[in-house]
Chain A
């Protein structure tokens, strides 16, 4: 998924997830001497071992009560970027992903414990789904007592409608795993049902079957072991046909969760109130403590942080789903002892990379020299420092299943880059003075990053041509296969914490095409066949360590890019709120158990 970006970068950022809030404003937290160690980020709770697939028992409601939680009160939510979608079918950004948890239920969902452990459990379904036919067929049974906000029951027909409407041509923004697995790769799946369900057509039972009101059966074209994760995307839920206003659904979705949309002013505010027809006994994840969520948009990080820090009036009950503390105010927050109980810094599933364009940089020694020379620590510093991330040492995020802390290029020991090794490699290759075209998106932070990257590369013996690219065209520019750039920042946020959502899209050579995520253009037959082999393993727990091994092999032998930092989420909320926890899959604040003290 993609975390919500700087206002306008949203789009350009699409695939380049990560970076999140960091990209705004300035960078570098603040001042005050070197006591940050103590008051600084705690140990990261978000680790690979946290993710498991739950059982039917885990999927039973109600959610365990939060100690000390009270009913009533209104939660103020300050967001920078306006939500441009409420339709669960269109949602793919972390801020909206977080918001929809309150009013939308999907087949499966993540149950997050206060310890940070996350389980995939049945949400509408009674469990995480059962596979048959070698993982090609997945069956979900719906729970009893599920209702929409008008009290009408949720049946398998509503889930079918929810999936089929994704085939309509206006549903362009959301993740399309399930439709693609069912009906065809890329956009070809739309041909299976060109108008969605709106003209009375439905997918054949051989593809999507609803034999009775409680059963949904998905028949994929190939086995997919990570189906429970894919059905946890918000668009695999229930949509009531009679209330489906198609495009206009984006402004007034019909709730299946504990809250419903009372008022939505596009670009301004969203008010969520209690949904009286939501039955806590069916829901293993959500609570309905607060009476209301008053979400408002357009708060820059600076004024949002200032307000929550000052806590005047209603700001005492203020939080943000996805906005981080302003990097310029890190010091103010960390030095304020009173914030200790109302902040967290956690690893997000987003990783920043500098991709090396292998179409142009054919010499592996040059790429290795680049990898050694890259000043990860300084790049992170420009992006906001320790509260914005931590130095990356390999391709997988620590929040990814199977992650191991390997560091083949010594990034921890050389945060400013290993100039000597880089120089030696470059000399060995006989390419001292090699010209590198470094493309970067033209934003404040990226301009500063360009300064440190250029410096480090020059020290190592490269000549650097900096090419700034307009933020609007950035993504198209670098995703053209025949682009004329050598290195560029990319990033990737896995949609779920399984490395099969990282290694294949980033490194499968058969994926290379305009717009694909294989920005380094790695096309190694050995890697491709290895990807196929691991993909075929049906136990994802068994596959995870093998993905890790493959990722490290690519990093040390092929070097299609170097990871720079793992993103962190630095959240602050008002002291009037309780029950706040980290949502490790979206990298945001989980609002489902928030209460007003």
Chain B
């Protein structure tokens, strides 16, 4: 099955040639050459004029910064995500393990309140959770993009039997009910890595999740690029390069790839937030990162357990995630517009 976000991504990810997101008018690159500026410069100039885009870019940067600088933030703020303040200091949690102060125990000391039962600081939990989730999502996205580009371009450029078999392979992977497969296969992948005796290092868990997200995440990109390459292959400048005897490698890197940057970049900005939400969904279903490593997604699961007595708790990870995804989507739109001012938006 597919989570809505995935369905959205599948829709956007080009399982059909009809999705508006995938329609890239011919050769943004060519028009750029006419003016004598590189497409990159043009794009940058247009992007800078798009106020929404700039703001969302800042928000996205802010999240990335939070992720990278989590230890610094925690140091400045004076708390860490692992200390069980509520258990160590009396007066924070009541006998049932819930914050005594209203609104989840928000105070000058604990900006986002205290986690019920374990009594950890929600703010640092979230900061470090974002760090974990973004790390996983970013690496998985990079791998998916790389694989998608590799397979899509190969299939499109070589064509013939290779294209056919790669296409069927993609069909096969797309037919896996994705979320069910995540849930079913994550334990299998864990068992491949995990030593039965020693503590499972967190990086192994992270790698497992990345691997699973990667295996079933790259097909949309590959399909999209295959279609793009198929149409580009017939174009004069590629034909010309072929006639002059350029090697396939040269044609791919010098002629095709420069024309593919737009869809790649747009798809990447859409894929990253999707990966974050899918990873969170896995944690919600109980196959994600385990305690004590803070994790954004697991906070939703915890929130679902606590909401009857502490509804405040789930708002922090929830609102942070909405802001993050909105910013990323807006950024994606702006990037597309900047590359390609003709799109009807």
The answer to whether A385 and B96 touch across the interface, beta carbons within 8 angstroms, is yes
The answer to whether B94 and A34 touch across the interface, beta carbons within 8 angstroms, is yes
- Among the listed stretches A98-106, A207-215, A450-458, which one makes contact with chain B, having 4 or more residues with CB under 8 Å of it? A450-458
Q: What would be 6 A-B contacts, judged by CB atoms less than 8 Å apart? A: A26-B117, A28-B97, A32-B98, A328-B306, A385-B95, A470-B187
B243, chain A: closest CB distance, angstroms: 60
The answer to whether B98 and A28 touch across the interface, beta carbons within 8 angstroms, is yes
Please report the C-alpha to C-alpha distance between residue A34 and residue B84 in the assembled complex, in whole angstroms: 20
Counting CB contacts under 8 A, is A288 at the interface? no
Please report the C-alpha to C-alpha distance between residue A317 and residue B26 in the assembled complex, in whole angstroms: 69
B143, chain A: closest CB distance, angstroms: 26
The answer to whether B87 and A30 touch across the interface, beta carbons within 8 angstroms, is no
For B196, the chain A residues whose CB sits under 8 A away are: 477, 484
- Among the listed stretches B38-46, B152-160, B307-315, which one makes contact with chain A, having 4 or more residues with CB under 8 Å of it? B307-315
Counting CB contacts under 8 A, is B171 at the interface? no
For A40, the chain B residues whose CB sits under 8 A away are: 95
For A329, the chain B residues whose CB sits under 8 A away are: 308-309
Please report the C-alpha to C-alpha distance between residue A385 and residue B309 in the assembled complex, in whole angstroms: 14
The answer to whether B100 and A332 touch across the interface, beta carbons within 8 angstroms, is no
Counting CB contacts under 8 A, is A593 at the interface? no
Most chain B CB within a 10 A radius of its CB, from A29, A329, A387, A477: A29
Counting CB contacts under 8 A, is A130 at the interface? no
Please report the C-alpha to C-alpha distance between residue A466 and residue B197 in the assembled complex, in whole angstroms: 9
The answer to whether B308 and A302 touch across the interface, beta carbons within 8 angstroms, is yes
Q: Beta-carbon contacts of A370-388 to B below 8 Å, as 1s and 0s?
A: 0000000010011001110
Please report the C-alpha to C-alpha distance between residue A193 and residue B96 in the assembled complex, in whole angstroms: 53
* Candidates B100, B117, B306, B309; contact of A382 at CB < 8 Å: B117
- Apart from A26-B306, A31-B100, A33-B94: 19 A-B pairs, beta carbons within 8 A: A30-B97, A31-B98, A32-B98, A326-B308, A328-B305, A329-B309, A330-B96, A331-B96, A332-B309, A382-B118, A386-B96, A437-B197, A437-B199, A444-B302, A451-B84, A452-B87, A455-B84, A467-B197, A470-B191
The answer to whether A34 and B309 touch across the interface, beta carbons within 8 angstroms, is no
Q: 8 closest Cβ contacts across the A-B interface?
A: A28-B97, A29-B96, A26-B305, A30-B309, A28-B117, A447-B291, A31-B98, A484-B197
Given A451-B291, A467-B197, are A31 and B309 neighbors across the interface (CB < 8 Å)? yes
Counting CB contacts under 8 A, is A152 at the interface? no
The answer to whether B199 and A465 touch across the interface, beta carbons within 8 angstroms, is yes
Q: Which residues 56-70 of A sit at the B interface, judged by CB distance below 8 A?
A: none
Identity of the chain B residue whose Cβ is nearest the Cβ of A383 in the assembled complex: B117
A464, chain B: closest CB distance, angstroms: 9
Please report the C-alpha to C-alpha distance between residue A382 and residue B115 in the assembled complex, in whole angstroms: 12
For B286, the chain A residues whose CB sits under 8 A away are: 444
B338, chain A: closest CB distance, angstroms: 45
Counting CB contacts under 8 A, is B301 at the interface? yes
Q: Which residues 431-458 of A sit at the B interface, judged by CB distance below 8 A?
A: 437, 442, 444, 447-448, 450-452, 454-455
The answer to whether B198 and A467 touch across the interface, beta carbons within 8 angstroms, is yes
Identity of the chain A residue whose Cβ is nearest the Cβ of B191 in the assembled complex: A470
Q: Beta-carbon contacts of A155-194 to B below 8 Å, as 1s and 0s?
A: 0000000000000000000000000000000000000000
For B97, the chain A residues whose CB sits under 8 A away are: 27-30, 381-382, 385
Please report the C-alpha to C-alpha distance between residue A33 and residue B292 in the assembled complex, in whole angstroms: 27
Count of chain A residues near B, Cβ 8 A: 47
B30, chain A: closest CB distance, angstroms: 56
Please report the C-alpha to C-alpha distance between residue A387 and residue B306 in the assembled complex, in whole angstroms: 16
The answer to whether B291 and A30 touch across the interface, beta carbons within 8 angstroms, is no
Given A26-B117, A451-B118, A465-B198, are A328 and B95 neighbors across the interface (CB < 8 Å)? no
* Candidates A34, A387, A447, A451; contact of B100 at CB < 8 Å: A34
Identity of the chain A residue whose Cβ is nearest the Cβ of B100 in the assembled complex: A33
For A302, the chain B residues whose CB sits under 8 A away are: 308
Q: Beta-carbon contacts of A90-103 to B below 8 Å, as 1s and 0s?
A: 00000000000000
Counting CB contacts under 8 A, is B99 at the interface? yes
Please report the C-alpha to C-alpha distance between residue A328 and residue B310 in the assembled complex, in whole angstroms: 9
For A327, the chain B residues whose CB sits under 8 A away are: 96
B100, chain A: closest CB distance, angstroms: 6
For B302, the chain A residues whose CB sits under 8 A away are: 26, 444
For A437, the chain B residues whose CB sits under 8 A away are: 197-199
The answer to whether B198 and A452 touch across the interface, beta carbons within 8 angstroms, is no
For B95, the chain A residues whose CB sits under 8 A away are: 29, 34, 36-37, 40, 385-386
A380, chain B: closest CB distance, angstroms: 10
**A interface residues (Cβ-Cβ under 8 A, vs B):** 25-34, 36-37, 40, 302, 306, 326-332, 378, 381-382, 385-387, 416, 437, 442, 444, 447-448, 450-452, 454-455, 465-468, 470, 477, 484-485
* Candidates B94, B118, B200; contact of A467 at CB < 8 Å: B200
For B307, the chain A residues whose CB sits under 8 A away are: 328
Q: Beta-carbon contacts of B168-205 to A below 8 Å, as 1s and 0s?
A: 00000000000000000001000100001111100000
The answer to whether B100 and A26 touch across the interface, beta carbons within 8 angstroms, is no
B285, chain A: closest CB distance, angstroms: 12
The answer to whether B98 and A381 touch across the interface, beta carbons within 8 angstroms, is no
A263, chain B: closest CB distance, angstroms: 31
Counting CB contacts under 8 A, is B150 at the interface? no
Please report the C-alpha to C-alpha distance between residue A386 and residue B118 in the assembled complex, in whole angstroms: 15
Counting CB contacts under 8 A, is B116 at the interface? yes
Please report the C-alpha to C-alpha distance between residue A473 and residue B292 in the assembled complex, in whole angstroms: 21
Q: Which residues 61-90 of B sit at the A interface, judged by CB distance below 8 A?
A: 82, 84, 87
Please report the C-alpha to C-alpha distance between residue A37 and residue B96 in the assembled complex, in whole angstroms: 11
The answer to whether B305 and A31 touch across the interface, beta carbons within 8 angstroms, is no
Q: Which residues 270-299 of B sit at the A interface, judged by CB distance below 8 A?
A: 286, 290-292
Given A26-B116, A444-B301, are A468 and B94 neighbors across the interface (CB < 8 Å)? no
For B291, the chain A residues whose CB sits under 8 A away are: 447-448, 450-451
Identity of the chain B residue whose Cβ is nearest the Cβ of A477 in the assembled complex: B196
Given A328-B307, A381-B117, A451-B291, are A28 and B96 neighbors across the interface (CB < 8 Å)? yes
For A485, the chain B residues whose CB sits under 8 A away are: 197
The answer to whether B305 and A25 touch across the interface, beta carbons within 8 angstroms, is yes
Please report the C-alpha to C-alpha distance between residue A108 and residue B96 in the assembled complex, in whole angstroms: 40
A39, chain B: closest CB distance, angstroms: 11
B96, chain A: closest CB distance, angstroms: 3
B311, chain A: closest CB distance, angstroms: 11
* Candidates B96, B100, B290; contact of A468 at CB < 8 Å: B290
Please report the C-alpha to C-alpha distance between residue A29 and residue B99 in the assembled complex, in whole angstroms: 11
The answer to whether A332 and B98 touch across the interface, beta carbons within 8 angstroms, is no
Please report the C-alpha to C-alpha distance between residue A470 and residue B286 in the assembled complex, in whole angstroms: 12
Please report the C-alpha to C-alpha distance between residue A331 and residue B310 in the assembled complex, in whole angstroms: 11
For B308, the chain A residues whose CB sits under 8 A away are: 30, 302, 306, 326, 328-329, 332
Please report the C-alpha to C-alpha distance between residue A32 and residue B308 in the assembled complex, in whole angstroms: 12
Identity of the chain B residue whose Cβ is nearest the Cβ of A330 in the assembled complex: B96
Please report the C-alpha to C-alpha distance between residue A454 and residue B306 in the assembled complex, in whole angstroms: 23
A541, chain B: closest CB distance, angstroms: 37
For A416, the chain B residues whose CB sits under 8 A away are: 87
* Candidates B96, B187, B305; contact of A36 at CB < 8 Å: B96
Please report the C-alpha to C-alpha distance between residue A302 and residue B187 in the assembled complex, in whole angstroms: 27
The answer to whether B199 and A466 touch across the interface, beta carbons within 8 angstroms, is yes
Identity of the chain A residue whose Cβ is nearest the Cβ of B102 in the assembled complex: A31
Q: Beta-carbon contacts of B90-130 to A below 8 Å, as 1s and 0s?
A: 00011111111000000000000000111000000000000
Please report the C-alpha to C-alpha distance between residue A563 and residue B77 in the assembled complex, in whole angstroms: 39
Please report the C-alpha to C-alpha distance between residue A470 and residue B188 in the assembled complex, in whole angstroms: 11
Please report the C-alpha to C-alpha distance between residue A329 and residue B98 in the assembled complex, in whole angstroms: 11
Identity of the chain B residue whose Cβ is nearest the Cβ of A329 in the assembled complex: B308
Please report the C-alpha to C-alpha distance between residue A34 and residue B301 in the assembled complex, in whole angstroms: 27
Please report the C-alpha to C-alpha distance between residue A447 and residue B292 in the assembled complex, in whole angstroms: 8
Please report the C-alpha to C-alpha distance between residue A317 and residue B198 in the assembled complex, in whole angstroms: 50
